[in-house]
Amino acid sequence: MERIAVYPGSFDPITMGHIDVIERSLGFVDRVVVAVTNHSRKNSLFTIEERVALIRTIYDKSKRVEVDRFNGLLVNYMKKKRINIILRGLRAVSDFEYEFQMLLANRKLDSRIETVFLMPGEEFFFISSSIVKEIASLKGDVSMFVPEVVAEALKKKFKY
């Protein structure tokens, strides 16, 4: 049976840390579905269509990474897709508390769902989409934090 994991998030934008988590997960799952959503508490820089397109560009040659979008509860999306593994990245202790709450809520909503936490490599540990957007908004070089296609998209968004 094929092992498929869903990696949910807003990915606004996707960073090298996200990519590192995806690549690490391919060591123990057959496929990863990067499930892009709008986060209710965040104002997105990129539209969901733009974020999906950027990620698809990055993984256009991969047969093991699928990019999709969803709205609503993650557990409902997973039931629809018949997937029971959630992939989540952890960077700091502050991430853990929120992620632990989400794990418990998802488990209550569907006991068949398991959550796997991965930490990105130390070179990506401090990277967040928020930091990338802040640097880019001030016309800083983000090329070490995001794939080239994302760096170019940020330049266009911030008009430089």
Q: Which amino acids are annotated catalytic?
A: 18, 42, 91, 129
**How far is the C-alpha of 122 from the C-alpha of 66, rounded, in Å?**
26
Q: How many CA atoms lie within 13 A of 37 on its CB side?
A: 15
Rounded CA-CA distance 145/27 in Å is: 23
Do the beta carbons of residue 69 and residue 36 sit within 8 Å? Answer: yes
Tokens of 103: 């794990």
Distance, in Å, from the CA atom of 144 to the CA atom of 132, rounded to the nearest integer, reads: 10
